[in-house]
């Protein structure tokens, strides 16, 4: 968590604020159903998943709109598919999701919850 704070300081304040308000949805129907994560709020569902898969770290990542730079839907889809292919080649348990802000001002971003991925690797 300390590293995330350091990284976040490189981002514009309004981006950090948007990230803090975002609901990070996860679609893990095979193991946990659908659930949402929020920054700073513990998740019993996530804790149970990490225990089940014996992982000490987790990352919620997206290839869409890097550093808040809006890309086309086509570019974001291609980036998301490449990220999915990369995760499929590795041994990390992962599930798709979508990060959505509360006001709908920014389109939801296709994402992945990845168990066992630490901050540096993410």
Q: Assess contact for 57 and 117: CB atoms under 8 A.
A: yes
pLDDT in tens, 16-58: 888 888 999 999 988 888 999 999 999 999 999 999 999 999 9
Q: What is the mean pLDDT of residues 81-104?
A: 90
Q: Which two tokens stand for residue 4?
A: 């995330």
Question: Residue 42 CB: number of other CB atoms within 10 A?
Answer: 8
Query: Which band of pLDDT confidence, cut at 50, 70 and 90, is reported for residue 101?
Result: confident
As a whole-number percent, the residues of the chain with pLDDT over 90 amount to: 60
83: left (phi over 0), alpha (psi -120 to 50) or beta: alpha
Question: Do the Cβ atoms of 27 and 34 come closer than 8 Å?
Answer: yes
pTM of the model: 0.84
Band (107; pLDDT cuts 50, 70, 90): confident
Which of 83, 15, 114 shows the shortest CA–CA distance to 7? 15
43: left (phi over 0), alpha (psi -120 to 50) or beta: beta
pLDDT at 9: 58
């Amino acid at each position: 968590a300390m590293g995330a704070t350091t990284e976040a300081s490189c981002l514009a304040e309004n981006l950090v604020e948007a990230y803090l308000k975002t609901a990070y949805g996860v679609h893990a129907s095979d193991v946990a159903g659908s659930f949402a994560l929020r920054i700073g709020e513990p998740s019993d569902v996530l804790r149970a998943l990490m225990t089940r898969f014996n992982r000490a770290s987790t990352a919620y990542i997206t290839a869409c709109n890097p550093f808040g730079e809006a890309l086309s839907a086509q570019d974001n889809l291609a980036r998301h598919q490449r990220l999915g292919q990369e995760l499929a080649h590795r041994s990390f348990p992962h599930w798709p999701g979508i990060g959505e802000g509360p006001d709908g001002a920014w389109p939801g971003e296709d994402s992945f919850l990845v168990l066992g991925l630490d901050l540096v690797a993410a």
